[in-house]
């Protein structure tokens, strides 16, 4: 019986302070009831005998350990909950940041799409305008029929780098003689095309004056008009504008070719070889150390071919070593094809250019004109 009450006391819930049982403890109530009935073993049991005190202390230690373990678990649970909350907060923050970036990127893409549409529309308008300029440029060039009626044979290889070209040719009559010119204007594209329109207009004006100009005099008159037209340019820009040109007249009765060159030469195929005739080193335009243009006369024979050109063909990069086509290779090519019909010459020149260029971009406008006397 004593052990029975001891076990009840040991596993009861304690609510004590300084070792005294609380009044509302169930064990205290049982003790008081037994005490009333006069059952003495309870009093003996409740006494702090040495053996029983140790057991009680041990029980208190066990309960205290459980209490401490409970607190530890509570702390761990709190740590886990706090960690989860921190993770949720970080995940929410990252999600918000990515969402904001997504929204901003979407808005930027919409704006970029609108800008691209605007650029595409403006580009199409610009291309349409340039195509119209190309049509105008072709319209003011001499008709190829004029060359066909004036020479035994001819060809024209005209390949702009862009849609419009800074290279142009001109043909007409001057003082009862056939006249022909090829020019390479500063720049290419629209810039060069504008200068070419100046050149064509001024050559037409000069030829309509019905004055028997020599080729060097034509270059002089053209130079005056170009400089006068660009008088509003600042000098540093004026120095950059101009053109390289060769101008020649052909007297078919005397079989004499007169020519003047503004930085450009002419090639003539005669006696089974290409002969080179150079002009002045001064171009058309406002340049320092301007020279007077000089005229030279060349005796020719029927069947000789005059070649006039810009530097675009010779300067084109290509080949295995990505080098320029070069002047020497150009001369050899012209010499090899000089016995062929004009149309075939043009096709060979174009084919050789494409093979040489390969996947390289065209670097300049290209113009080659050949006329058979």
Task: Report pLDDT digits (tens) over 56-68.
Answer: 777 777 878 888 8
* CA–CA distance, 198 with 229 (Å, rounded to integer): 9
Question: What pLDDT shows up at residue 50?
Answer: 53
Share of the chain above pLDDT 90, in %: 51
DSSP 54-105: HHHHHHHHHHHHHHHHHHHHHHHHHHHHHHHHHHHHHHHHHHHHHHHHHHHH
Residue in this structure with the two tokens 């702390």, named with its chain if needed: 75
State which CATH number among 1.50.10.10, 3.60.40.10, 3.40.50.2300, 3.10.300.10 fits the domain covering 142-372: 3.60.40.10
Question: What pLDDT shows up at residue 11?
Answer: 45
Over residues 214-252, the pLDDT tens digits come to 999 999 999 999 988 876 555 555 556 789 999 999 999
Domain range summary for the chain, segments of one domain joined by +: 142-372
Over residues 130-173, the pLDDT tens digits come to 888 888 888 889 999 999 999 999 999 999 998 999 999 999 99
In this structure, are residues 63 and 14 in contact, taking their beta carbons and an 8 Å threshold? Answer: yes
Mean of pLDDT values over 272-277: 96
Question: What pLDDT shows up at residue 240?
Answer: 66
Task: Give the side-chain half-sphere CA count within 13 A for 351.
Answer: 8
In this structure, are residues 324 and 315 in contact, taking their beta carbons and an 8 Å threshold? Answer: yes
Is residue 371 over pLDDT 60? Answer: yes
Of the candidates 368, 340, 305, the one whose C-alpha atom is nearest the C-alpha of residue 158 is: 368
What's this model's pTM, rounded to 2 decimal places?
Answer: 0.71
Is residue 181 over pLDDT 90? Answer: yes
Question: What pLDDT shows up at residue 34?
Answer: 47
More confident: 213 or 17: 213
Residue in this structure with the two tokens 């390969």, named with its chain if needed: 358
Q: What is the CA radius of gyration of the chain?
A: 52
Over residues 301-350, the pLDDT tens digits come to 999 999 999 999 999 999 999 999 999 999 999 999 999 999 999 999 99
In this structure, are residues 276 and 206 in contact, taking their beta carbons and an 8 Å threshold? Answer: no
- Out of 47-51, 198-202, 261-265, 362-366, which region has the weakest mean confidence (pLDDT)? 47-51
Cα angle for residues 3, 7, 10 (degrees, 5° grid): 135
Question: What pLDDT shows up at residue 16?
Answer: 42
Question: What pLDDT shows up at residue 200?
Answer: 95
Mean of pLDDT values over 293-298: 96
Q: Whole-number mean pLDDT of the chain?
A: 84
The residues pairing with 308 across neighbouring beta strands, listed in sequence order, are 369
Is residue 279 over pLDDT 50? Answer: yes
- 145: tokens are 């029929």
* CA–CA distance, 320 with 314 (Å, rounded to integer): 16
Buried b (16+ CB within 10 A) or exposed e, 49-83: eeebeeebeeeeeeeeeeeeeeeeeeeeeeeeeee
> Which residues does 2 contact at the CB level (< 8 Å), separation at least 6?
41, 44, 45
Question: What pLDDT shows up at residue 258?
Answer: 97
Is residue 27 over pLDDT 90? Answer: no
Question: What pLDDT shows up at residue 237?
Answer: 57
Question: What pLDDT shows up at residue 39?
Answer: 46
Question: What pLDDT shows up at residue 53?
Answer: 74
């Amino acid at each position: 019986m004593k052990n029975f009450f001891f076990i009840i006391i040991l596993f009861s819930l304690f609510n004590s302070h300084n070792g005294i049982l609380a009044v509302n403890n169930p064990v205290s109530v049982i003790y008081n009831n037994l005490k009333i009935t006069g059952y003495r073993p309870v009093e003996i049991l409740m006494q702090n005998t040495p053996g029983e005190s140790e057991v009680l202390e041990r029980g208190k230690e066990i309960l205290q350990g459980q209490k401490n373990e409970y607190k530890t678990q509570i702390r761990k649970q709190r740590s886990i909950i706090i960690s989860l909350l921190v993770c949720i907060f970080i995940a929410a923050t990252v999600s918000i940041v990515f969402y904001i970036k997504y929204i901003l990127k979407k808005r930027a893409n919409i704006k970029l799409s609108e800008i691209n549409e605007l650029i595409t529309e403006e580009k199409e308008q610009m291309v349409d305008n340039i195509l119209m300029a190309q049509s105008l440029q072709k319209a003011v060039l001499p008709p190829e029929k004029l060359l066909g009626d004036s020479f035994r044979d001819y060809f024209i290889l005209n390949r702009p780098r862009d849609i419009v070209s800074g290279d142009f040719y001109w043909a007409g009559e001057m003082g009862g003689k056939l006249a022909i010119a090829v020019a390479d204007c500063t720049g290419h594209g629209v810039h060069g095309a504008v200068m070419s329109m100046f050149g064509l207009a001024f050559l037409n004006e000069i030829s309509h004056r019905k004055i028997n100009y020599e080729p060097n005099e034509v270059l002089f008159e053209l130079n005056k008009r170009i400089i006068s037209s660009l008088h509003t340019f600042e000098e540093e820009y004026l120095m950059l504008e101009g053109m390289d040109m060769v101008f020649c007249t052909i007297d078919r009765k005397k079989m004499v070719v007169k020519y003047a060159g503004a930085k450009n030469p002419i090639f003539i195929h005669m006696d089974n070889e290409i002969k080179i005739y150079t002009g002045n080193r001064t171009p058309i335009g406002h340049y320092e150390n301007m020279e007077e243009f000089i005229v030279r006369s060349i005796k020719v024979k029927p069947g000789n071919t005059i070649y006039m050109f810009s530097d675009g063909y010779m300067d084109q990069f290509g080949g295995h070593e990505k080098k320029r086509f070069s002047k020497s290779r150009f001369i050899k090519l012209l010499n090899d094809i000089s016995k062929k019909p004009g149309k075939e010459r043009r096709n060979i020149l174009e084919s050789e250019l494409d093979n040489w260029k390969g996947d390289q971009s065209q670097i300049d406008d290209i113009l080659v004109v050949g006329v058979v006397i």
